Structure 1
Amino acid sequence: MPLMADEAMKLLCSLSEKKEMKVAFKHIKRGVALTCIMTGIGGLVGGPPGLAVGGAVGGLLGAWMTSGQFKPVPQILMELPPAEQEKLLSQVTAIVRHLEWTDAVQLTKQVMGSQALQERLLALLVGYITKELKAEVKFRV
């Protein structure tokens, strides 16, 4: 049975939920840069007390900028444009093409019952997120 994009996304979502996968987007550098800039400006304007105030304000702004940058993988997968979902579909299909299944639920059960399939799909998902989305993946081992 041919695998559809929405079924592949549901399969990857189930796997990523099981592993509690989250993605950290790399805006942390911006927060650090803002903290440094504000500390420098505070030091130039207010001397030693300005360093403390600038560092505190910069730190708060940096923390605010980077808060909420962790997103669950299922949310990201469902928000992918159709072209990206098709790209993932072809890679998932290559991994599960040898399985016999009649619906997405049965396919998911087969994958969840096989550690080897889970590892291959996880490697695919981590590689995609790292290379295509330029993000870092965190998950429960």
Structure 2
Amino acid sequence: MPIHVDDVMQLFCRLSQERGMKAAVKHSGRGALLAGASAFLGGLMGGPPGIAVGGAVGGLVGAWMTSGHFRPVPQILMELPPAEQQKLYDAAIDIVRNLDWTDIVQLTALVMGNAGLQQKLTAVLINYLSNELSAQIQYAE
């Protein structure tokens, strides 16, 4: 049976929900842009000392903005653009391709009943979140 990207995303959502996974995605580009813009504006308004003050203030605000807020992983996965979902799908397809299932409910039951499959798929998800999204991962206690 062909495996659809949406089915794999639902499976990852269920896995991450079971583990209580949350992730903070860092947006370092935004912080750098803010620091640079603040330094530029400071330079326009106050010359060389304005550059220093603007850069320092912009850097602090940028660091605060990029610190990331933890959100549930299923929410992050469902907000991914189709190209990013495809990357995650491609990484997971080898694990679930040879399973015998008819619908997403049965696939989820197969995976949730097998600790080895859960571990492999969770490793794919963690690797994707860490490497592709530069996310910090937190687990429920």
Query: Mean Cα displacement is larger for which, 88-97 or 121-130?
Result: 88-97
In the TM superposition, what are the counterparts of 1:1-141 in structure 2 within 5 Å? 1-26=1-26, 65=65, 69-140=69-140
For structure 2, the 5+ residue unaligned runs are: 32-60
Q: State the AA in 1 paired with 2:84.
A: E
When normalised by structure 2's length, the TM-score is: 0.69
Question: In 2, Cα distance between the equivalents of 1:14 and 1:129?
Answer: 16
RMSD: 2.5
Question: In 2, Cα distance between the equivalents of 1:68 and 1:136?
Answer: 9
Identify the residue that residue 42 of structure 2 maps to in structure 1.
none
Contact 2:92 2:121 in 1 (8 A): yes
Residue 90 (structure 1) shift: 1.6
Per-residue deviation, residues 22-71 of structure 1 (Å, max 9, x unmatched) = 002347xx7xxxxxxxxxxxxxxxxxxxxxxxxxxxxxx89x75787101
Indicate the SS of the match to 1:138. strand
Question: In 2, Cα distance between the equivalents of 1:124 and 1:104?
Answer: 19
Residue 87 (structure 1) shift: 1.2
> Runs of 4 or more off by more than 6 Å in structure 1?
none
Identify the residue that residue 54 of structure 1 maps to in structure 2.
none
Identify the residue that residue 49 of structure 1 maps to in structure 2.
none
Contact 2:25 2:68 in 1 (8 A): no
Percent identity over the alignment is 55
Query: Paired residues, what number?
Result: 111
